[in-house]
Amino acid sequence: MTLIEAVLLTVTTAATPLLLAAMGELVVERSGVLNLGVEGMIVMGAVVAFATAQVTGNPYLGALFGAVAGCVFSLLFGFLTLTLVTNQVATGLALTILGLGLSGMIGENFVGEAGVQLEPIAIPLLDQLPLLGPLIFNQDLIFYLSILCVVGVSWFLFRTRLGLQLRAIGDSHGSAHALGISVIKTRYCAVMFGGACAGLAGAQLSLVYTPQWVENMSAGRGWIALALVVFASWRPLRVLAGAYLFGAVTIGQLHAQALGFGIPSQFLSALPYLATILVLVIISRNRRLTLMNTPASLGQSFVPDR
């Protein structure tokens, strides 16, 4: 394996959880809901996936349960914000806090155990391709799912009737409701999809990235996923690009260190965050562009009149 291949492979592993969580959140935000609880859902997914894999010895079952856990946990957020119309920002934060605490309690007995790894699945013939072979066609299940997710979400949002309805709700829940689209039901589905994606992202952390359970192992990735969605101005392909860019910067700063560049490591560590702000500024500067894609009713509660 050449250096370039190896580096790109590392970047892929770093980008996949960001990509998954951000794709989920993108759908949620497109439906007009802002869920700041991504971090909490990721960490719940991670602990449940790990625990399941340890108990059953089957990492695939682990990944499945991780996604289910994220989904169930997101329902808590859905119930509060959609049924009880609570403030979305506060509820999302509460979800994060609860998730960090609860996962710590669930995972207490699993700390320090060596985990079961989700092994790569080579796709016959294609994995023999130079460069692309090992990079794209000899990866673990969750990586394939993350790519599938990008394609699926793009197709769903822009090519299907349901996707159109979802975007309509995000842009103006009042008009969508008047047209007879069920706002609450659609948003519930979106929130649950977001939860499942975040849970799967968590499963990637505890089954692929570092196959072990560590408290707070999401390490701020939920927040970065949130940033990525805005960064991508709510477009799936840009989320893909953003996630990989972010992964590349994170890994790149470590390589810069290993090569012996004499820059204080704190500055290199701060680089991804500064880059995000910079890109946010560049993208949001163009008001027309942002307004065109921003779900207009993002973060607003909806109560149907009868």
Partner 1 sequence: MRIELERRPSHSALFSVVSPFIALGLTIIAGAIMFTALGKNPFDALYSFFIEPLTEMWSLHELAIKAAPLILIAVGLSVCFRSNNWNIGAEGQFIIGGIVGAILPVMFHQWDSFLVLPIMLIMGIAGGAAYAAIPALLKTRFNTNEILSSLMLVYVAQLFLDWLVRGPWRNPEGFNFPESREFGPEAILPEILPASGRADLGIIFAIVATLLTWFMMSYMLRGFQVSVLGQSARAGKFAGFSANKMVFFAFLFSGGLAGLAGISEVSGSIEQLQPVISPGYGFTAIIVAFLGRLNPLGIFAAGLVLALTYLGGEAAQISIGLPDKIARVFQGFLLFFVLACDTLIHYRVRLKFAGHAELAEEGA
Partner 2 sequence: MMKKLLLALSTAAVMSFAATAAQAATKVCFVYVGSKTDGGWTQAHDIGRQELQNHFGDKIETPYLENVAEGPDAERAIERFARSGCELIFTTSFGFMEPTLDVAKKFPKVKFEHATGYKTADNMASYNSRFYEGRYIQGQIAGKMSKNGVAGYIASFPIPEVVQGINSFLLGAQSINPDFQIKVVWVNSWFDAGKEADAAKALIDQGVDILTQHTDSTAPMQVAADRGIKAFGQASDMIEAGPETQLTAIVDTWGAYYIKRTQALLDGTWETQSTWDGLVDGILTMAPYTNMPDDVKQLAMETEAKITTGELKPFTGPVMKQDGSEWLKADEVADDGTLLGMNFYVKGVDDKLPQ
Rounded to whole angstroms, the maximal C-alpha distance in the chain is 67
Amino acid, single-letter form, for residue 129: L
Round to whole Å and give the CA distance between 71 and 40.
Answer: 12
Round to whole Å and give the CA distance between 168 and 177.
Answer: 10
Q: Does 280 bind partner 1 (CB under 8 A)?
A: yes
Closest approach of partner 2 to the CB of residue 160, in Å: 36
User: Contacts with partner 2 in 10-29 (CB under 8 A)?
Assistant: 10, 13-14
Q: Does 44 bind partner 1 (CB under 8 A)?
A: no
Can you give the length of the chain in residues?
306
Taking contact as CB under 8 A, which single stretch among the options 143-151, 202-210, 246-254, 264-272 is the one that binds partner 1?
264-272
User: Contacts with partner 1 in 194-253 (CB under 8 A)?
Assistant: 215, 220, 223, 226-227, 230
Closest approach of partner 1 to the CB of residue 52, in Å: 20
Return the one option of partner 2, partner 1, none that residue 152 interacts with (CB less than 5 to 8 A, by type).
Answer: none
Give me the 63-102 binding string for partner 2, x by CB under 8 A, dash otherwise.
----------------------------------------
Residue (131 or 263) nearer to partner 1, CB: 263
The DSSP bridge pattern shows strands 121-122 and 138-139 to be antiparallel
DSSP character for 36?
T
Round to whole Å and give the CA distance between 284 and 271.
Answer: 20
CB 4 within 8 A of CB 217: no
Round to whole Å and give the CA distance between 81 and 90.
Answer: 10
User: Contacts with partner 2 in 117-136 (CB under 8 A)?
Assistant: 117
* Token output for 227: 């940033």
CB 222 within 8 A of CB 62: no
* Token output for 104: 């710590």
Q: Does 262 bind partner 2 (CB under 8 A)?
A: yes
Residue (59 or 99) nearer to partner 1, CB: 99
Instruction: Residue 115: name the closest of 59, 63, 64, 199 by CA.
Output: 59
- If phi over 0 gives left and psi between -120 and 50 gives alpha, with beta otherwise, what is residue 260? left
Out of 1, 277, 292, 296, the only residue in the binding site for partner 1 (CB under 8 A) is: 277
Round to whole Å and give the CA distance between 36 and 92.
Answer: 4
Q: Does 263 bind partner 1 (CB under 8 A)?
A: no
Rule CB under 8 A: which residues touch partner 1?
Answer: 36, 76, 80, 83-87, 89-91, 93-95, 97-102, 104-105, 108, 215, 220, 223, 226-227, 230, 264, 266-267, 269-270, 273-274, 276-277, 280-281, 284-285, 287, 290, 303, 306
Rule CB under 8 A: which residues touch partner 2?
Answer: 3, 6-7, 10, 13-14, 108, 111-114, 117, 205, 209-212, 214-215, 217, 219, 250-251, 254-255, 257-262, 264-266, 269
